Homo-oligomer: A and B are copies of this chain.
Amino acid sequence: MENQNNIPLLVIRRMTKYHKYLMKLVNNDVVSISSKKFGEIIGFTASQIRRDLNYFGDFGTQRLGYNVKDLLIEINGILGLLKKHNMIIIGANNIGKAIANYTRYEQLNFKLVGIFDVNPELIGLTFQNIKVLDIDNLVSFLKEIPTDIGIICISKNYAQTVTDMMVENGVKCICNITPVDLNVPKEIILENINLTNSLLTLKCLMNARTY
């Protein structure tokens, strides 16, 4: 994945955390906050926060700190949270079902528009008022309903094939929840969520302590 603005991926990941806590502050009617105080809440240093935010613009004032609402609006803009993005789920298994039934993404302007599978036992089921379609319908679906994001949690044997189908039909971002390392063109944004890697990382970290 190429980030053309050279904003480090780790900064962008931290931005999602800033957003989460700014929402909490706004909900608690906090008007302004210093980078020091904000850092204490999130668990980052004040300088870290100032460095991160400087990638996107000049926020806050030396004396008054950050205006919470303004900062949230700015970060909403940075994260594109106000833009609606169509999303499909490939795989109607337990994970696909859990994701389909997970409501918070709607508040973040992700719109689930389709769910697909190859398994006849799953095709035809309905989650969140969306009927699981046969993967054979994917290409015609994408031609009809432009979709930015595809979440893949289908059996690994199909993962690359389905990814290619999505990429060839306008999907810009792939969220890969299969154990497969997917090949995508460099302009495609790929996010991997891999339980096995996470468990292996835990193992390695446990072991590194006594290494």
A residues sitting closer than 8 Å to B (CB atoms) are 1, 3-5, 7, 9, 12-13, 15-17, 19-20, 56, 78-81, 83, 85, 87, 93-95, 97-99, 101-102, 104-105, 108, 110, 148-149, 172-173, 175, 179, 181, 189, 191, 193, 195-209, 211
A selection of 18 A-B contacts at a CB cut-off of 8 Å is: A1-B205, A4-B209, A12-B201, A13-B197, A13-B201, A16-B200, A19-B200, A79-B200, A80-B206, A95-B98, A104-B196, A105-B199, A108-B196, A149-B199, A172-B206, A173-B202, A189-B205, A193-B193
Measured between beta carbons, the chain B residues less than 8 angstroms from A173 are 202, 205-206
Measured between beta carbons, the chain B residues less than 8 angstroms from A209 are 3-5
Assess the B98–A203 pair: CB atoms within 8 A.
Answer: no
Measured between beta carbons, the chain B residues less than 8 angstroms from A202 are 149, 173, 175, 189, 191
Assess the A105–B193 pair: CB atoms within 8 A.
Answer: no
Measured between beta carbons, the chain B residues less than 8 angstroms from A19 are 200
Assess the B15–A80 pair: CB atoms within 8 A.
Answer: no
> What's the Cα separation between A184 and B207 when bound, in Å?
19
> What's the Cα separation between A56 and B204 when bound, in Å?
12
Which residue of chain B lies nearest to A205 when distances are taken between CB atoms in the complex? B189
Measured between beta carbons, the chain B residues less than 8 angstroms from A3 are 205, 208-209
> What's the Cα separation between A9 and B13 when bound, in Å?
15
Contacts A15-B204, A83-B207 aside, 5 further interface pairs with beta carbons under 8 A come to A9-B201, A16-B201, A79-B204, A94-B94, A94-B101
Which residue of chain B lies nearest to A173 when distances are taken between CB atoms in the complex? B202
Which residue of chain B lies nearest to A81 when distances are taken between CB atoms in the complex? B203
Q: How far is the CB of A173 from chain B (nearest CB, A)?
A: 4
> What's the Cα separation between A85 and B201 when bound, in Å?
13
Measured between beta carbons, the chain B residues less than 8 angstroms from A199 are 87, 105, 108, 110, 149, 175
